[in-house]
Structure 1
Amino acid sequence: MTKAVRYDEFGGIDVLRIEEVDRPAPGEGQVLVQVRAAGINPGEAALRKGAMTDIFPSTFPSGQGSDLAGVVAEIGPGAGRFSPGDEVLGFSEKRASHAELVLVEVDNLTPKPKNVPWEVAGGLYIAGVTAWGAVHSVQLEKDETVVVSAAAGGVGSLAVQLARRAGATVIGLASERNHEWLQSHGVIPVAYGDGVTARIKTAAPGNIHAFIDTYGNGYVDLALNLGVAIDRIDTTIDFPAAAKHGVKTEPGPNGRPGAEVLTELATLIAEGHLEVPIANIYPLTHVRQAYTELERRHTHGKIVLVP
């Protein structure tokens, strides 16, 4: 038997529990991974609350989690490019990574660089490929200016770094306690809240060419008010605003880049070109506490579970 997070109905954090389940057995093209770290994400909280059933239907009992990093425990037929003992990172498409052992399709895994910490590797997938997709979608060119909302959060903290690597001037909206971190990564910090439009205009060296929204709550409207073109606004979270105004939602709720992009991001981390801030690490058994912190929406970086 092995432990995994489960819930039987939509609801708040109180529906989450740790359950003893049978040890999974890898099938064709699958790898059984002993999880060392697994990130948590706002989308999982939305799924648990039943807020995304039109896009992602649920069946019960449901598992939870996409991000993961760990050690290969067993391989199934057709998964021979990995061997037991290999260190890997990747993602589950079965809502299953918040567990001690998880079955993963072989194509959803990539080798973990030795110098990338477990908690960083295990929290990389959703935030990393979402940030990568958003930055690519707004088509940044050298010396253009982009604004990123929630710039110190799980997705935003990576988006600002990737945008800087693209040669853009980056204005990051964040609370003042995170301004020093943003400045240390070459980002112009601006406090959010009342008067933010004026502060952005003051901080911008010229025109604002693009906007990446990783928070929702009216930032698409703010981007439009700043004069940013519709095809250069991307929201990773506010799908109703995107539908209303026609802005982008790359990589979108229905699909994200896969292991190839994950490999690229892991390499950047290993080479010291990308930092994944870790807000907190919780034991798997403290999954409720982890989501309590996440759902306050004030974390700097990623929250990770460790079995």
Structure 2
Amino acid sequence: MRAIVQKEFGGPEVLQLTDVERPKPLSGEVLVRVRAAGVNPVDVAVRAGAFPLLGEPPFTVGWDISGVVEEAGPGARYRVGEEVYGMPFFPRSAGGYAEYVAAPSRQLARKPASLDHTQAAALPLAALTAWQGLVDLAKIGEGDRVLVHRAAGGVGHLAVQIAKARGAYVIGLAREPKHAFLRELGADEVIDYRTTDYTEAVEDVDIVFDSSSEGTRALEVLKPGGTLVTIMEHGNQELAAAVEAAGRRFAGVSVEPDYASLEAIAALVDEGRIRPYVAATFPLAEAGRAHELVGSGTVQGKVVLTIG
């Protein structure tokens, strides 16, 4: 099969299309014929060596996949021909930038019926990050006031929609050109963080969803007992202690595979309450170009590789 392999850390040019051996599914696993693979900022960081999750190269980056079950091992949850999506193995290697991926069937879910594979591949890592932070950890509920940093980004635009689907009042931080997009997603208020100090414009927030390493600034807008959800500082014990000492809750998200949450997300998608925004697509052979775009830090929504 074809896969993107890198033999060294470096820029996007290290991502090379290579012929490799096709994996075989074990008991409880399925072999997925990948139709699309999502590209996330963590992929870029791992490729460059800035976040060495996978050790030394050679390896294949990528976790978000959507495709069709080609083979099913004994005891697997899915049959040959079923369409599935997911984020297998994270933070260990999944080899997602490839024509085939073997993965535990319980780390995948049936693809939302209303989405094609390209759209579905944009969901898993970003949507699970938002879901596990807002729903599992912060216990978001009807009427909660939620502040979302980087609200138009890959994780942020899904966090906005998940919060709205749970009945929250959502305030999004983003550059002014992205405000119309966020209002279309359902954001109740939108603030340009470049021209407005959000700590002066916002108060009495129940949940801050932080994807930008804001640290203790969140305490200025959080209610007593409110929750700081952070995806960048999940291991920061000093920050956790400061938040708890101030009478707020600290919730660090280290995203993990979870088929039950993927099923819940798929249900909301098929109800028309969540929709991933795909900013650009590239063929597998042009993974380097996809990394250049994601690495720019300016993408609205997600970037996806199309395969086959």
- Specify the alignment match of 2:228 in structure 1: 233
What runs of 5+ residues in structure 2 fail to find an aligned partner?
244-249
C-alpha root-mean-square deviation of aligned residues, in Å? 2.0
Deviation at residue 239 of structure 1 after TM alignment: 4.3
The aligned residue for residue 100 of structure 1 is 99
SS in 1 for 2:205: coil
Match of 1:232, SS state, is strand
1:281 aligned partner: 281
Q: Find the residue that maps to 1:209 and give its secondary structure.
A: strand
Partner of 2:271: 271
Q: Which deviates further from its counterpart, 188-197 or 226-235?
A: 226-235
- Alignment of 1:189 with 2:183, yes or no, is no
Which region of structure 1 is more displaced relative to structure 2, 242-251 or 4-13?
Answer: 242-251
CA distance in 2, matches of 1:25, 1:83: 15
Question: 2:54 and 2:289 mapped to 1: Cα distance?
Answer: 25
Secondary structure of 1:161's counterpart equals helix
Hey, what does 1:154 align to over in structure 2?
Answer: 154
Distance 1:287 1:164 in 2: 33
Cα shift at 1:72? 1.1
**What residue identity is the alignment partner of 1:165?**
A
User: Which deviates more, 289-298 or 242-251?
Assistant: 242-251
2: distance between equivalents of 1:211 and 1:99? 36
The 8 Å contact of residues 146 and 169 in structure 2, kept in 1 or not, is answered as yes
Of 64, 70, 87, which residue of structure 2 is paired with 1:91? Answer: 87
Match of residue 204 from structure 2: 207
Deviations 1:2-53 (A, max 9, x none): 1111112222222211111122222222211111111011112222222333
Per-residue Cα deviation, 1:121-164 (whole angstroms, up to 9, x for no partner): 11211001100012122333433322111001111001111112
In the other structure, the counterpart of 2:246 is none
Is the 1:32–1:104 Cα contact (8 Å) retained in structure 2? Answer: yes
Distance (Å, rounded) in 1 between the aligned partners of 2:223 and 2:303: 32
Q: CA deviation at 1:227?
A: 4.7
Q: Does the 8 Å CA contact 1:28/1:77 hold for their aligned counterparts?
A: yes
Residue 247 of structure 2: aligned partner: none
SS at match of 2:80: coil
Deviation at 1:109, TM superposition (A): 1.8
Q: Quote the offset at 1:59 in angstroms.
A: 4.0
Give the secondary-structure state (helix, strand or coil) at the position aligned to 1:300: coil
Is the alpha carbon distance of 1:161 and 1:11 closer, same or farther for their aligned partners in structure 2, counting shifts above 3 Å? Answer: same
For 1:58, the equivalent position in structure 2 comes to 55
Alpha-carbon separation, structure 2, partners of 1:106 and 1:280: 29
1:117 Cα offset (Å): 1.7
Identity of aligned residues (%): 33
Residue 181 of structure 1: how far off its partner (Å) = 1.7
* TM-score, normalised via structure 1 length: 0.88
Q: Which amino acid aligns with 1:21?
A: V
Following superposition of structure 1 onto structure 2, how do residues 1-307 of structure 1 map, counting pairs within 5 Å? Answer: 2-53=1-52, 56-79=53-76, 81-93=77-89, 94-136=93-135, 137-187=137-187, 188-197=189-198, 200-201=201-202, 207-216=204-213, 219-228=214-223, 232-239=227-234, 242-246=236-240, 248-252=250-254, 255-307=255-307
Q: What is the CA–CA distance in structure 2 between the aligned matches of 1:229 and 1:256, rounded to whole Å?
A: 29
Residues 91 and 104 in structure 1, CA contact (< 8 A), matched pair in contact too = no
Determine the C-alpha separation between the residues in 2 that align with 1:236 and 1:294: 18
Q: Alpha-carbon deviation of 1:63?
A: 1.1
Aligned CA distance change for structure 1 residues 14 and 229 (closer, same or farther; 3 Å): farther
Q: Which amino acid aligns with 1:75?
A: A
SS in 2 for 1:8: coil
Question: Does the 8 Å CA contact 1:4/1:20 hold for their aligned counterparts?
Answer: yes
TM-score (norm 2): 0.88
Gaps of 5+ in 1: none
Distance across 2 between alignment mates of 1:7 and 1:172: 37
- 1:240-276, CA deviations, whole angstroms, 9 ceiling, x for partnerless residues? 6x33310545431xx5251110011011111111111
